[in-house]
Amino acid sequence: MFLVALIFASLVAFVYLKVQQSREVEPLVKRSYSLKSSIAIGIFLISFGINSYMSLQSSVAAVVALIFLVIGSINIFFGWKQYRLLKNYSPKETSTETN
């Protein structure tokens, strides 16, 4: 049940961040939303792969889960790495807080 909630929450976060990205004008803030959505889709892929393997438990599901785990891990790793670099580069423009 936890994985289903995580799947749903990560999809909602992905859609929310993509909508925010499309509304934003400044390029660094737009890139910040893009990287956060990449992390959200990575979480979705990992949780979906684990959930599919746990429910089906077949060799085909294991291969699909492994592919999803690899792709999701790559999305999270590179999204987080680039987001940290972007945040250190320009913390003023990447903060999403409004004053």
The answer to whether the CB of 96 falls within 8 A of the CB of 36 is no
- Indicate the domain borders of the chain: 2-92
Q: For the chain, how far is it from start to end, CA to CA, in angstroms?
A: 38
Per-residue pLDDT of the chain (99 residues; tens, 9 = 90+): 899 999 999 999 999 999 999 999 988 889 999 999 999 999 999 999 999 999 999 999 999 999 999 999 999 999 999 999 888 876 565 565 554
Return the pLDDT at 93: 58
d(CA 13, CA 18): 9
pTM equals 0.86
